[in-house]
Amino acid sequence: MYYGGDYNPEQWPEPVWDDDVRLMRAAGVNLVSLGVFAWARIQRAEGEFDFGWLDRVMDKLHAGGIGVNLATATASPPPWASRAYPEILPKDASGATYWPGSRQAYAPTSPVYRRLAAELVTAIAERYASHPAVVMWHVNNEYGCHLHADYSDNAAVAFRAWLRGRYDGIEALNEAWGTTFWSQRYGDFEEIVPPRLAPYSLNPSGLLDFKRFTSDALLDLYRMEKSIIRAAGGVQPVTTNFLGAFEPIDYRSWAPDLDLIADDSYPDPADAESFRAAAFDRDLMRSLKPGVPWVLMEQAPDAVNWRTSNAPKAPGQMAALSVQAVARGADGVMFFQWRQSRSGSEKFHSAMVPHAGTGTRTWKEIVELGRDLASFPRMSADVEAPVALVYDWQNRWAVENSDHPVRFDHLEVVRQWHAAAHRRHVGVDVRHPGDDLSGYAVVIAPQLYLLTDASAANLAAYVAGGGTLLMSAFSDVVDEHDMFPLGGFTTRLADTLGLRVTDFGALPVDGTHDATTVTVSLEGTSLKGRLFAEELDVTDATVLGRFGDGRLRGRPALTSRVSGAGTAYYLATVPDEEGMGALVARILAGAGVRPVVDGLPEHVEAVVRDGHLFLVNHSEEPFTPPSSLGRPIEAGSEAGDVIGAYGWRVFGRAAP
């Protein structure tokens, strides 16, 4: 189990480094991410490298038994670089420049930035590839975090090259983008510019390709750095830190290039439900590389600095969120950062060693957590998950394009479905519609608007093979180019679902009032739907629920169809959270999926990892676990002992 955090010794005089190593040992730290923002310290000017200080830090850490997750330091070019080569600076959609003075001011496709970054990584990798302290490589930092997309001339050149690789000639692009519309036809790839500021809405297929390009351009940078590390003889695992379900990057397409997945996670302590969204992110990270434990690379020991109001974590909350990550497949718990900065934008961000010193609650909790994590048994990344929730970045990009029947936050809806299973203590993997789904009892596919033929066939085969699929409104609408297939909507899954959608029936949404809802009555109960009230042409499915009010009163709203050995449900709206809960409970019960432990309160999380049952209390309310769970593995705990506020417990075997 890795334990530690980002270590920025360049912010401190050398005598502090000895104290750092001493305190790291006291806290049980065994890994630090070193040099993440040290480019300007390593390279004072082009061609001038200063590694003396880094040699000394590395040697001190190694002597202290602390491993290094060595950063390639490329996330923030020093000011000398943009002074000498202003063309490395990125631009926004209106052509304004992002200047240096903060961080991440580089155009990922700039040939000069790439050369400078390659020279830096080569120097670092050649010097330290065989240093005994290096156990992992930390490439760049949170790719795309601040700069979600670059629209500079560098990007224009690279975008055109990317499009040339994707399309077999300009006519193929014209066809895919539907450029006969609004006189957008291109005669040559050179006429194409990134989706910069325009008078009105931009071509949606072009926007979708620009998102794909942006994700691929950053991946290309990551690959460049990784190959430099390998060429220099670095054999240690290579990773970069992800940001949960971060919109700009299709992490699924990146996952094969990472030796292990690493995630940064900052749930808001002031939001009593933020642990649920964190659980979704952790399941997503685990699912990106099934079978390989991931690492929680960054979290805050206490408060952050970048929200409007930055609440501290409650006593125990930091440990509860850490154990949640371990329960959901992490083999490392790391923080931003080791020692609190004295100056700079993040001086109010908490750290493992707070500015207020080691007499603090934070430090005590850090030491305690280090001890607890060290006592955990070695576990595989196998987490019990009978349900797959379908989430696909490319679909999210397409579904959130403008000019749709109704605009909504797709990720929020996906997370709500996850929360519905989470509240019921049922494990969920987050999968792509093209993944092998055959092992799951239930697959939930919300708003699968963009669906490729291959993914549609995969979902149909899943149902035919005995699976239970729940699909909901605004699904199977366009192909990978954001184009309607001929023949209407629900064209690929019509047979599996036994219906066609003929009209999307957008419901009014209004930021200041509750969204308009419709009632769906089903067997004596009802649920509320929002965003869509679709008109269905049911050809061969059983109608389980009907719209109880609104324009479609009496028309089918929830259907099921037995298809081969399985069942496909379709819901023509998006339920509110309560409705999702009711529906999920019903479908899980129908598919024989039971909670990990019966009768637990909603704020207690229950997960089985490699046969170990984790219970985590994410609230102030104490909770008594059923004594039938047996003896916890922690020394000194007895079966049936109360789990206090933000407490947790691990039981040696899965619940009966």
Nearer to ligand GAL, 189 or 266 (CB): 266
Q: How many residues bind ligand GAL (CB under 6 A)?
A: 11
Q: Which residues are catalytic?
A: 142, 298
Q: Does 339 bind ligand GAL (CB under 6 A)?
A: no
Residues in 345-364 at the binding interface with ligand GAL, rule: CB under 6 A? 346, 349
Cβ-closest position to ligand GAL: 336
Nearer to ligand GAL, 142 or 372 (CB): 142
Nearer to ligand GAL, 283 or 298 (CB): 298
Stretch that binds ligand GAL, among 141-149, 207-215, 435-443, 562-570 (CB under 6 A): 141-149
**Rounded CA separation 2/103 (Å):** 27
Selected binder of ligand GAL within 20, 150, 283, 298 (CB under 6 A) = 298
Q: CB of 285 within 8 A of CB of 294?
A: yes
Q: In 376-518, which residue ranges form alpha helices assigned H by DSSP?
A: 393-399, 410-423, 453-464, 494-497
Residues in 42-61 at the binding interface with ligand GAL, rule: CB under 6 A? none
User: Least distance from C-beta 202 to ligand GAL, angstroms?
Assistant: 29
Beta pairing class for 535-538 and 499-503: antiparallel
Which residues have C-beta within 8 Å of that of residue 477, sequence separation ≥ 6? 449, 450, 451, 484, 489, 490, 501
User: Least distance from C-beta 297 to ligand GAL, angstroms?
Assistant: 8
Stretch that binds ligand GAL, among 22-30, 118-126, 297-305, 413-421 (CB under 6 A): 297-305
User: Least distance from C-beta 299 to ligand GAL, angstroms?
Assistant: 9
Q: Does 145 bind ligand GAL (CB under 6 A)?
A: yes
Q: Does 460 bind ligand GAL (CB under 6 A)?
A: no
Selected binder of ligand GAL within 258, 304, 369, 643 (CB under 6 A) = 304
**Rounded CA separation 210/195 (Å):** 7
Nearest to 333 by CA among 341, 323, 344: 323
The verdict on whether omega for the bond into residue 299 sits within 30 degrees of 0, i.e. cis, is no
Q: Does 336 bind ligand GAL (CB under 6 A)?
A: yes
Selected binder of ligand GAL within 30, 82, 141, 324 (CB under 6 A) = 141
The token pair that represents 257 in the structure block? 């290039």
Q: Residue 506 gets which letter from DSSP?
A: B
Nearest to 324 by CA among 646, 652, 654: 646
Selected binder of ligand GAL within 142, 150, 429, 435 (CB under 6 A) = 142
DSSP string, 251-292: HHHHGGG-SS-EEE----TT-TTHHHHHHHHHHHHHHHSTTS
Which residues have C-beta within 8 Å of that of residue 107, sequence separation ≥ 6? 87, 88, 89, 90, 91, 113, 150, 152, 154, 155
User: Least distance from C-beta 263 to ligand GAL, angstroms?
Assistant: 11
Q: Does 104 bind ligand GAL (CB under 6 A)?
A: no
Q: Does 288 bind ligand GAL (CB under 6 A)?
A: no
Nearer to ligand GAL, 140 or 567 (CB): 140
Q: Does 74 bind ligand GAL (CB under 6 A)?
A: no
User: Least distance from C-beta 319 to ligand GAL, angstroms?
Assistant: 19
Classify residue 186 as exposed, middle or buried by CB count within 10 Å of its CB (0-12, 13-18, 19+): middle
Q: CB of 163 within 8 A of CB of 210?
A: no
Q: Does 281 bind ligand GAL (CB under 6 A)?
A: no
Q: Does 313 bind ligand GAL (CB under 6 A)?
A: no
Nearest to 10 by CA among 475, 481, 337, 364: 337
**Rounded CA separation 415/307 (Å):** 21
Residues that bind ligand GAL (CB under 6 A): 141-142, 145, 264, 266, 298, 300, 304, 336, 346, 349
